[in-house]
């Protein structure tokens, strides 16, 4: 089953700056071939369901190894049976409406 | 790796009433032995990391089979290396503070 | 506009134990009359839209005053125009299906 | 109080294609001066706390007027007292680590 997801990892008990942890997870997601696209509150990914969640698990393992004793990750995951749609397609679909609609 | 999680499944293109789908997912989570505890915006579960996410996958498969063409699930997942803590422990810890603190 | 919501506050840079902060926010939500119902990953509330978000703002102010330099809150908010439905109604609707359906 | 947020609006009972609704909300966020930056699972915004949540309320009002009987919005909101940080700063901070760190 194909999945599209948004992954926002939040290390706790690891200080106020989270960017090193987020970058480490970003590398994990890229190495898994999930086409990560970073934004300010998470990372859009897409791929096989099991590959996505195996990568999220590796993110937790990696960030714990870096010293964070506690991690909270917020995941949005989407699946659909009616048609194929990439994350890029989703964004393009909204942007097309923004460009052409007149209120 | 042990995981605690909150799972909120949202079928799309399936009408305005979601309770039949949520109930079906609830059964999947219970059968997986994840100790589900339902609230108004999701279900708290806990268990082995892989068991949790295999169950979420089965929720998606089940809800698609019931006719929903598209599903969005919001997951919060927590892991910690410093100590064991159940979902009940987390709630009890807050309630204890509410009972004893005087502002 | 009436709103139902789930509010999960996460103080960052404030150590690994979050229960004191969550309890402080819980008090804010109760004092605002939002009928808070705590679970392991947040708190279900309901009330007027503006009252809900004014209370979330007071949660942030309170938790910053307690010493947390950074806060991330995850909110799910629901509105509907087709009918009135309380958080208790939502849970009862799923539980009824769980009790009566036979697979 | 300044807030940075991620807003993902999900109309329910409105069919399987959500892009027209998301585009309408996007316009509301832009008109409110919140510097929206769309991704596949939401929109990053930033501005005054009250302006952010007034705009989310207008998104709900607009999407209900377009015919969606039920809406679920997932919001992540961040505040910090230790320093100013824009959404762009957050992304740049992670990308800098990705560019310079060697594993």
Chain D residues contacting A via beta carbons under 8 Å:
4-6, 8, 16-17, 19-20, 22-23, 26-27, 37-42, 44, 74, 76, 78, 80, 82, 87-88, 90-91, 93-98, 101, 103
Q: What is the mean pLDDT of residues A44-60?
A: 98
The pTM (predicted TM-score) of the whole model is 0.97
Q: What is the pLDDT of residue C100?
A: 83
Compute the mean pLDDT over every residue in chain D, rounded to the nearest whole number: 95
> What is the C-alpha separation between C53 and A12, in angstroms, rounded?
25
CB contact under 8 A, C56 and D77: yes
> What is the C-alpha separation between D80 and B21, in angstroms, rounded?
38
Q: What is the pLDDT of residue B16?
A: 87
Separation in Å, CA of B23 to nearest CA in chain A? 19
| D40 within 8 A of D76, measured Cβ to Cβ | no
pLDDT at B101 over 70: no
Site from B6, B7, B16 to mutate, D interface, most D CB atoms within 10 angstroms: B16
In which band, very low, low, confident or very high, does the pLDDT at A6 lie, cut at 50, 70 and 90? very high
CB contact under 8 A, B23 and C87: no
- State the DSSP H helix or E strand holding residue A89, giving kind and residue range, or none if neither: helix A87-100
pLDDT at D45 over 90: yes
Separation in Å, CA of C50 to nearest CA in chain D? 8
pLDDT at C50 over 80: yes
Question: pLDDT higher for A103 or D9?
Answer: D9
In which band, very low, low, confident or very high, does the pLDDT at D103 lie, cut at 50, 70 and 90? low
The predicted-structure confidence for A89-99, as pLDDT tens digits, reads as follows 999 999 999 99
| B94 within 8 A of C22, measured Cβ to Cβ | yes
Name the nearest CA neighbour of A15 among D53, C69, D100: C69
User: Which residue in this structure is represented by tokens 């990750």?
Assistant: A73
> What is the C-alpha separation between D35 and B36, in angstroms, rounded?
39
Site from A13, A53, A58 to mutate, B interface, most B CB atoms within 10 angstroms: A53
Separation in Å, CA of D6 to nearest CA in chain B? 14
Chains contacting A (3+ CB pairs below 8 angstroms): B, C, D
In which band, very low, low, confident or very high, does the pLDDT at D15 lie, cut at 50, 70 and 90? confident
What is each CA distance from C86 to A53, C2, C5, C83, C100, in whole angstroms?
A: 34, 10, 10, 10, 21
| C95 within 8 A of C88, measured Cβ to Cβ | no
Kindly compute the dihedral angle of the four CA atoms of residues D66, D56, C11, D3, in this order, to the nearest 10 degrees: 150
Q: What is the mean pLDDT of residues D75-89?
A: 96
pLDDT at A56 over 70: yes
Set of chain D residues whose Cβ sits within 8 Å of the Cβ of B69: 16
In which band, very low, low, confident or very high, does the pLDDT at D101 lie, cut at 50, 70 and 90? low
pLDDT at A103 over 60: no
Q: What is the pLDDT of residue A26?
A: 98
Interface confidence (ipTM) of the complex:
0.95
What is each CA distance from C14 to B80, C64, D12, in whole angstroms?
A: 16, 10, 37
Set of chain B residues whose Cβ sits within 8 Å of the Cβ of D13: 15-16
Compute the mean pLDDT over every residue in chain C, rounded to the nearest whole number: 95
The predicted-structure confidence for D17-31, as pLDDT tens digits, reads as follows 899 999 999 999 999
Q: What is the pLDDT of residue C102?
A: 56
What is each CA distance from A50 to A9, A58, C85, in whole angstroms?
A: 18, 12, 36
CB neighbours of residue D7 within 10 Å: 26
> What is the C-alpha separation between C11 and C68, in angstroms, rounded?
6
Set of chain B residues whose Cβ sits within 8 Å of the Cβ of C27: 98, 103
């Amino acid at each position: 089953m194909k999945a599209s997801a948004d992954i926002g990892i939040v290390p706790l008990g690891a200080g106020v700056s989270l960017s090193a942890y987020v970058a480490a997870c970003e590398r994990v997601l890229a190495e898994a071939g999930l086409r990560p696209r970073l934004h300010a509150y998470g990372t859009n990914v897409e791929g096989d369901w099991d590959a996505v969640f195996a990568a999220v698990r590796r993110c937790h393992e990696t960030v714990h190894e870096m010293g964070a004793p506690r991690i909270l990750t917020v995941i949005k995951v989407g699946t659909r049976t009616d048609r194929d749609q990439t994350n890029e397609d989703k964004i393009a679909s909204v942007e097309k409406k923004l460009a052409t609609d007149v209120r």
